[in-house]
A and B are shown apart, each in its own frame.
Chain A
Amino acid sequence: MMSRQHRLIQLPLVGTILLCLLVGAYLVVWKRFSKAGPAAPISKHRVDTKADETLKYWTKDKMRDAKPADMPNVTALKRGKEHPRRPRV
């Protein structure tokens, strides 16, 4: 009777220790991975024109006559590291 009582008393005690361990491990993992932060914000634009109309707009002549988008010419450059570090987002 006495040993059964002991077992019953010990059960919540073991549970409490386990719970504390789990909470501790959870906090460590949370701290480790929360450093990643949120993903970079993205800007989105919904196209109003229907796909069929857009496709009809582009005749062969228009495709052939379309001008190249200007390729930017940049002068602000500095040699960088070979393996860039993982950026903080």
Chain B
Amino acid sequence: MPQLHRFILHPLTNKVFLCLLAGAYLVYLVAFVHLLSPALPAPSIIEHAVDANPNVVKYWTVASMRDAIDADQQIGNAANPTQASNDNPVKGVQQEGQPPRNGDPSYPLTTVGKVFFSNDAGQNLVCSGTAIASLNQSVVDTAGHCIYWNGGWVKNLIFCPLYDNGNTPYGCWAARDLEVPADWIGAKPNDFHHDFGMAIVSANNEGVLTDLVGGAGWAYNQPVNQPFYAYGYPAGYPFDGQTRQSCDEGSSGKSWQHGGGTVVSIPCNMTGGSSGGPWFIKSGGNWYLDGHNDFISSLQPGHMFSPYYDDTWYALYDKAQHT
């Protein structure tokens, strides 16, 4: 017992013990901070000052409270009971965009362009795409089937923002790397729920991509039931692919189950060549990429579909911006 007392009372033992404790605490602190702040960009917070007018309180009588319409019902989608899901709500993330250095007022549409590429058979094909805000300033978002299709990677891929009748005011950028989710490569036929693709482009003579044309803001894990604004370069009849077209009525998205995942539809009559063109949502005056023209369905004529931008989209984006 006296030996134990001596051991406990020995100043060196105390110091060693305190050092171990401090070390364990530091490890814990580092691990805790790391876990609490994963490598995601901080979601932007939009503040809105509410006018503290006492008449607002008077406005809400018992009768008006009782007669108030459910917001979901007003939007018109409450008829489908499977749509309501309040448990385990999705945690959405938004990242603001980066305007071009010349302050072009048409931003963020300066980020929209044509994607040209060749397939294995040597055919020259077109899709659409978007330059998005990223660490390497060189990421183009498009559809997976414009990057990897029929068991092969495409060749000669270039991106030409603001293409118009053969004119490319900012020039074009050639891809140096192509990336898609592994499950797009392994997808069953007719499963487009993770049809995501990104091209990482080399700088051209003018500079890096988003420095010149800007990078669109982006968002994922967002509610589907909100207005979407679609853009692209449809080249199938009745379009000729020479000018940018849009479905910018701000139609609300509808959610669908497809191929083991979620996809979204909006009314839009764009055709082949618009694949990969952006779907924007708007919030607080900012535009965020949150989908792209991807496929059509004979079950919903006159509608365009996009894969739902989820964690897989973000994983692809994060890999691309570090490539």
Contacts and interface: CB of A to CB of B under 8 A. Distances in A.
Interface of A: 5, 8-9, 11-12, 15, 18-19, 22-23, 25-26, 29-30, 33, 36, 39-47, 49, 51-52, 54-55, 57-58, 60, 62-87, 89
User: Which 5 residue pairs of A and B lie closest in terms of their CB atoms, listed nearest first?
Assistant: A68-B273, A82-B83, A68-B272, A68-B235, A51-B174
Contacts of A11: 14
B125 A26 contact: no
B174 A55 contact: yes
Interface of B: 5, 8-9, 13-14, 17-18, 21, 24-25, 28, 31-32, 35-36, 38, 72, 77, 80, 82-85, 88-91, 114, 116, 123-127, 145-146, 148-149, 153, 155-158, 160, 163, 166, 172-185, 190, 192, 201-202, 204, 221, 223-225, 234-236, 241-242, 254-259, 261-263, 271-275, 293-300, 305, 308, 310-312, 315-316, 318-319, 323
Nearest to A4: B9
Contacts of A9: 5, 8-9
B242 to A, nearest CB: 8
A43 B181 contact: yes
B251 to A, nearest CB: 15
A67 B123 contact: yes
Contacts of B182: 40-43
A77 B260 CA distance: 10
B222 to A, nearest CB: 9
Contacts of B80: 79, 82
B91 to A, nearest CB: 6
* Interface secondary structure of B, over-half rule: mixed
B204 A55 contact: yes
B157 A43 contact: no
A87 B310 CA distance: 8
B298 A18 contact: no
Given A22-B25, A39-B315, A43-B179, 6 more contacts: A8-B9, A15-B18, A40-B315, A44-B177, A68-B127, A68-B234
Contacts of B308: 84
